[in-house]
A and B are shown apart, each in its own frame.
Chain A
Amino acid sequence: MNNLYTKVERTVGGLKFAVFIILLFSLMMTIGTFVESYYGTDFANRLIYKTPFFMGIQFCMFLSILFATFIRLPIKKRLHGFYVIHTGLITIGVGSFVTYVAGIDGTIHLPPLTPTRQIVLNEDVIEVVMPDHNKRASVKLPYSAMATDLDIQYADVKVTKFIPFAEKKLSWQEEMNPTTSPNIHSTKYNVANPNVAQDFILSLHPEAFDFKASLTMGLLNITYLPKAMAECFTKQSKEKLILWNSVESTCSTTEELGIKVQKTSTGKRFFAIKNDKTVYSFLPDISPWAMDADLKPITNAPIRVFSMNLFEEKPHLFLFGKSAAFYDKDEDKWIFEKFDSKGEMDLPWMGFTLSLLEHHEKKVPTYIPEETLPIQKNGALIKGDYKAARIKIRDKEYWVTSERPVSLLIDGKKVTVYLTKRSFMLPFEFTLANFKMDKNPGTNSPASYESFVDLFTDKGTSRHHIYMNNPLKHDGFTFYQASYSQDRETGQYSSTLSVNVDQGRVIKYLGSILLVIGSIWHFIINGRTRRKENDILGLDPKGDNNA
């Protein structure tokens, strides 16, 4: 046994093993940097830097350094520098291990003037929230680079797969709860002119969570309407008011229904209509909804009104699946058009042609997560920036993604499943009181960004100033200015701080000092003089090297 140990010690502590393991370490790092540049930091960490294999290499280096020191004991004077270097490296290794095991590395997002204490860690979890049972649980997901099949169960939720880097693939799925109305349809279109082309999908289906019935493209507004409404756009109407009955899926003009449209004292049009036993009154130029006595919209009323006048000023396109309507300003009239035999129609704006690509009445457009290799550009992921997990709840399977949780009722009790990052609460609270950003003169690039935070503890409130190279230390935590974001609408800044607890810090610093001192010492001890025979530049021909 002792013999075996000596053998292992000799081999692992030997120079050849050292050279081998250092080169293997370098090779892995080289691959890591290329992976990082192509696929992003997170992917490189998951694939290389934070894998057991790479940590194993580092452990082997640690052993190599340790044994190399052991086999050179007892202490020899000529090796003093060597001992100090190797002790330094061992100390750094120990310090890093302490940080790895006990350290915390997370971020805290501070919206303006909102008390916050939630620290988010870089660890993917499935979070199951059951408010009726007052339960909340996290299921840890693997730190993998590729999609992984899992078999983790919590209560009724079973996690079967995790995709750390996914992209959305469009899929036309069968309905989960079949609908009967022919007016619940979905269509995929393409709009193009010689310069740009874009596909888009509009849907009226209640299960099409990823798609809406309206969208804006530059100056053009597009609204998707039930196909039964198309016919009313072809009808001549003086008032240009179309009523839509969502229960019967029928449309009609006010003239057809014999409704008299009146004006208020301020010149606003209004009318009332009786449906079953209820009377609904409308202010069609203000809201499509019926109004109650307090002029509040009744959003669940079966009848809605559509005032064509409102859509004549700006470019508006109305799509009914296989047909379209829009107002032509030049001809001063509403145009109703169907797609031609090639499934195309010309639009009156910027030379656009609209093509009908796919139309379904029974199928639902859905984005299905699919595994992908991420792509990084300018420090941010442009592909694969999306995580997904497959979960099974009582024989039905669902995708829960980092963008959308799954909510459903199990035995009448609400359950929501999130795919998120692990987080924990600080024992104290923060508020971003002010965020200051200086820009380089005459440009938009930031010169500095600084957070002024109020820290609330048991002992009271204190104001702190955190900026680059000036972190805040409190209660073992250190807070660093990391990044910021700006609300597009309000223009208000939010600040993101990175939060860190590192018990290995002192050990690592001590090791670093030893390493540098050791290197200097080692090279001083090893200074030796050799003699040359001929000068390589021909300066001292006879080996006379006394400069």
Chain B
Amino acid sequence: MRNIQKLIAAFLFTASIFAGEIYFCTNDIGKMPLLQGGRVKPLSVHAKESIKHLTGKSKIDGLSAPQIYCLLSASAFGMPNKLNLKTRIEHKDTRKLLDGKTEMSYKDLLDEQRTIRTAWMRIKDETSAKKDLNRLMAKIALYQDIASASNWTIPQYTGNKISWIPLAAFLTEDKVKAAKLSGGNPFEKLFIDAKNEYIKIDGDLFLLEYKYDQMQLMKIAMILTLIALAALVLFKKFAIALGLSVVIVVLQTAFLALRVYISGRAPVTNMYETVLFSGYGGLILAMIIGHYKKEKTFIYMGLAYNLCCLMMINFAGSMVNESISPLVPVLRDNFWLSTHVTTIIISYGALALSWVMANTIIVKKFFSKLTKADEIYYNDLIYTSLKYGTTLLAAGIILGGVWADYSWGRFWGWDPKETWSLIVLCIYIAILHGKYTAWIPAHRFAHLIAAAFMSVMMAWFGVNYILASGLHSYGFSEGGAIFLGSFFAIQTLVLLITFRSSKQTKA
């Protein structure tokens, strides 16, 4: 590597290497293909995920994530940079271990590795402190992996197939010298050659993913949803809201279609995708029901719910991870994924519409009044959403049972995910039955529906974020659990505050 370093000094545009130099790390480096996490993807996507994971940011000192990733890798060859990546020290016990610091640079953390490892080994139980140390060690290991030029893999054509080698092994003195002979920047030439060779053999799907990632369609969709909702609620412009809803659906369809094309599977395999799909499905369902029922409020319900979902996928990156990762073998069946999971997720969307309406009713009643006829009318809109929600959920659960029967040989196994979806169905069915008894009067219906949606959140997020963590994770220490806990707390608070006002109806 030392020889490479000398060579680099010779090839750089300036006579001496200085720390502000970006070497070959232009923004175009993001278009390189790279194999990581079991999948070929553009460097830009992997760099964004890695740098965000390490620092919580995707841009530092005007440098983009691919550039930071590239410069960090280049430092393995002795190319200095001004980067000083830092991470937050989350847990109070970890802070205590590291002299009370709340933020530390990775360069300092490398020196503390032994201390951290020792502390980690000393904690016997799976406490939140141990988990935090575990995460910190993983981050330091990733940093080291990138900074030693081992994380960045480059395709190499050998023996008529592509093999992937780390940058540390790719940039050899011989190669750089040979590339120099043909003139120009030798590094860029090496990278471009490697990329072109890869495209010739395996195609350029990763470049499509590069564009998909750059377009930031879901940010646009979120802003449009916000505008549409404002047009409807604040300015009472239904036509604008409807027009924008169509545009949003088109955007989300395009985004999902690209994602399906890139990943080669139905877009319902992780939290990010289900949240996105549920909001999208909810909006479409609301538009269809609204059209047939001739009721504009459905558009409001659909937009409001879609906004919640879009905000989650844009702002809650630590909880709903947008990366496309390989699936566990048992889920690799597009037929069942696209029938069972989509049905369940759309049913959650339909139930969410009822949740939006229910909360709107109780808030409306708290701040102003609702006539008895209107209360019954709007309860009926909730009921309409519930009809779709429960039917789809029942169908989804059955499809899940059939899939399980087909691939595991059992229709039902009391697995927490399937059990919770049945709990959700039972709760809504109990409410639908209770509606005909004296137990649930009209003025309590909306309250119950708003509360019932907490079961959906439990089935959807809770099973993954609370139940899956199991014993000894006391804690609402992780992102998902904090989100869910806050959701339950706020919803409960809203219900408690508005409970007294629920009886007030104008005659």
Interface residues of A (CB under 8 A from B): 15-16, 18-19, 22-23, 25-26, 29-30, 32-34, 36-39, 41, 44-45, 49, 96, 99, 105, 194-196, 375-377, 439-443, 445-449, 468-469, 471, 478, 480, 482, 498-500, 502, 505, 508-509, 512, 515-516, 519-520, 523, 526, 528, 530-540, 545-547
Contact = CB atoms under 8 A, between A and B. Distances in A.
A99 B164 CA distance: 51
9 A-B pairs closest in CB distance: A440-B38, A500-B409, A532-B377, A37-B467, A523-B387, A519-B391, A443-B38, A22-B430, A512-B398
A448 B410 contact: no
Contacts of A195: 118, 121-122
A498 B408 contact: yes
B29 to A, nearest CB: 20
Given A36-B416, A516-B395, A508 B471 contact: no
Interface in B150-192: 153, 164
B471 A536 contact: no
B39 interface: yes
B295 A480 contact: no
A448 B467 contact: no
Contact of A16 (B39, B40, B426, B437): B437
Interface in B394-410: 394-395, 398, 401-402, 405-410
B433 A15 contact: yes
Given A482-B408, A532-B378, A442 B296 contact: no
B118 A445 contact: no
Contacts of A540: 296
A500 B427 contact: no
B419 A33 contact: yes
A545 B416 contact: no
B357 to A, nearest CB: 9
B364 interface: yes
Contacts of B466: 37
A530 B329 CA distance: 50
7 contacts: A22-B433, A105-B410, A448-B329, A482-B408, A519-B395, A539-B238, A545-B295
Contacts of B378: 532, 536
Interface of B: 35-40, 118, 121-122, 126, 153, 164, 232-233, 236, 238, 290, 294-297, 300, 326, 329-330, 332-333, 336, 360-361, 364, 370-371, 373-374, 376-378, 380, 387, 390-391, 394-395, 398, 401-402, 405-412, 414-416, 419-420, 422-423, 426-427, 429-430, 433-434, 436-437, 439, 463, 466-472
A443 B37 contact: yes
B377 A33 contact: no
B40 A25 contact: no
Contacts of A537: 232-233, 236, 296-297, 300
B467 A505 contact: no
B385 to A, nearest CB: 11
Contacts of B37: 440, 442-443
Nearest to B126: A377
Contacts of B153: 442
B467 A469 contact: no
A447 B38 contact: yes
A441 B414 contact: no
Max chain B Cβ within 10 angstroms of own Cβ: one of A26, A498, A515, A546: A26
Which of A34, A41, A478, A533 is packed against the most chain B CB atoms within 10 Å?
Answer: A533
Contacts of B420: 29, 33
Contact of A447 (B121, B329, B387, B463): B329
B482 to A, nearest CB: 18
B300 A547 contact: no
Given A196-B121, A509-B402, A15 B326 contact: no
B295 A547 contact: yes
Nearest to A383: B471
A499 B409 contact: yes
A519 B297 contact: no
Given A22-B426, A23-B426, A533-B374, 12 more contacts: A19-B430, A26-B427, A29-B420, A33-B467, A196-B121, A441-B40, A442-B164, A447-B329, A478-B409, A480-B407, A516-B395, A539-B236
Nearest to B427: A26
Contacts of B395: 516, 519
B428 to A, nearest CB: 10
Contacts of B360: 536
Contact of B326 (A447, A512, A534): A447
Nearest to B403: A469
A468 B407 contact: yes
A498 B297 contact: no
B410 A500 contact: yes
A25 B424 CA distance: 11
B433 A18 contact: yes
Contacts of A440: 37-39, 326
Most B Cβ at <10 Å: residue of A377, A447, A469: A469
Contacts of B380: 528, 530
A109 B36 CA distance: 34
Nearest to B435: A15
Contacts of A498: 408-409
Nearest to B388: A523
B390 A519 contact: yes
A542 B206 CA distance: 55
A300 B66 CA distance: 70
Contact of A441 (B35, B300, B433): B35
Given A445-B38, A447-B329, A533 B470 contact: no
A282 to B, nearest CB: 44
Given A508-B411, A512-B401, A531-B373, A536 B437 contact: no
A471 B407 contact: yes
B104 to A, nearest CB: 22
B434 A15 contact: yes
A26 B37 CA distance: 39
A531 B376 CA distance: 9
A538 B236 contact: yes
Contacts of B419: 29, 32-33, 36
A49 B419 CA distance: 10
Contacts of A505: 405, 411
B296 A536 contact: no
A29 B238 CA distance: 44
Contacts of B470: 37-38, 375-377
Nearest to A50: B414
Contacts of B374: 532-534, 536
Nearest to A449: B329
B409 A531 contact: no
Given A512-B398, A539-B296, A441 B38 contact: yes
A523 B439 CA distance: 22
A547 B294 contact: yes
A516 B295 contact: no
A25 B416 contact: no
